[in-house]
Structure 1
Amino acid sequence: MKKNKIQNIIILAVITIIIGAIIGYNYSVDQTKQKGFQFGVELAQIQEDVSQLQTKFYSEKNKWDEGDITKEDLQKYYEKHVKEFKEIISRYDKLTPPELFKSSVELFKLSSQTQLESDEEYIKWITTGDESARIRSDAQIQEAYEYENLGLLEFQSAKSGIKTYDEPEKFSAPQSGLTQKVIQISENMKNECDSQFKNGLGEFDSDQIEIDWFNCFNEAENWKIEHLP
């Protein structure tokens, strides 16, 4: 339940900020502002649906723990959960965000996709008892949380950088703090690589493990390069 609470807290924060950012749009008949308002409403609804889906996901697990449903019932629900989650994620592609908000939408989508991957590993752990699947699930939920945080940061930057909705050429998005956040997330990813592949002495138990660590480390570095402003 811990990772569920963490994810829901950040999602609720995102919803609050999204709604706050679009309230001003509601008082104008200007077409551009109305489109912006519609985008904000739709994005907030997606994030809320993700939150509700995750709450249901873990409540069903609790029902099984308490003997209220069978494992077969739980597995049937999990199949439905994955299908519904994929449908929700597909809605990100139907949004029409203002230019400044496109990068934040991509990060919110990436967070949800990573959350789904975490859920799938969690389901594998419940179904097979594979402890490595649980470990992967925990790592992915942390990654999803960091994507969500970065998306929130970019959304806030875009919101505070808007000069006018009537003249797109005057839009600007301040980058203050974004570089530091990207570097921080990349370092966290590298630390996860160390924790996963290095032993207590900071060494590798086999050549293959060292290769796996190297690939993991490179992925973190490439992610940083791709996301630096």
Structure 2
Amino acid sequence: MYAVNDAEGSDSEVDSLFDEPQIAMRTAPPIPGLFIPPIRLPLELANDIVQQCMSLYFDGRDINQIMLFGRIASGHGEGMGSGLPTFLITLLHCLAEMLRDHLPEKVHEMLFPPKDAPPRARQAILNLYHPGEGISPHVDLLKRFDDGIIGAGPLDMNHWDLYLEERSVLVLSEDARYDWTHGIDGKQKDFVSGGVDGQGEPEWIERGTRLSITFRWLLPGADIVGGPDP
């Protein structure tokens, strides 16, 4: 993954939240609002999510992206993901607990509102990447999506290159959400800093198939699918 700083909004070549340095980092770069906590989705949960996503949406189909929508009536109650499939509701509950001690309180509350918060619409987007595939640098639509984006991968400066390990969790808020583009280079392998702490000799890591799940809040009125951006 890479990111480029586009805070000035100019038409000149931008720097990305993850533009590509020579060696991909294993730790979060110093970008305000970017959080990559030292947690991993439980292996059993990750395996179940992969199985559910593949069997329900991808196996036997020539598609690589699915968009799902739910309306959230309660941040931590049964309404965590009303309208979303059960396995994604389970994932949201797990993320709420896992991230509690790793995010500022206001960021956690933005992602997982309290029970008395007004109803909101949430999107879950599932992306399947095969080796050599990626996504162009972008900022999630400013007129459609609110602050607070959660990315989970259950299967495997002005410009930063970041290596996200299997079952990693990433949160974009504030500057990281609005002022930096993010994307994935389409290549077969990555040159990554070595060791768990990133201090060892760099190594080449071959890519496998990657499944990512992203949760985003929709702005009021933006949950009208197929309509123009508000």
Under a length normalisation based on structure 2, what TM-score does the superposition of the two structures give? 0.22
Structure with higher strand content: 2
Under a length normalisation based on structure 1, what TM-score does the superposition of the two structures give? 0.22
Structure with higher helix content: 1
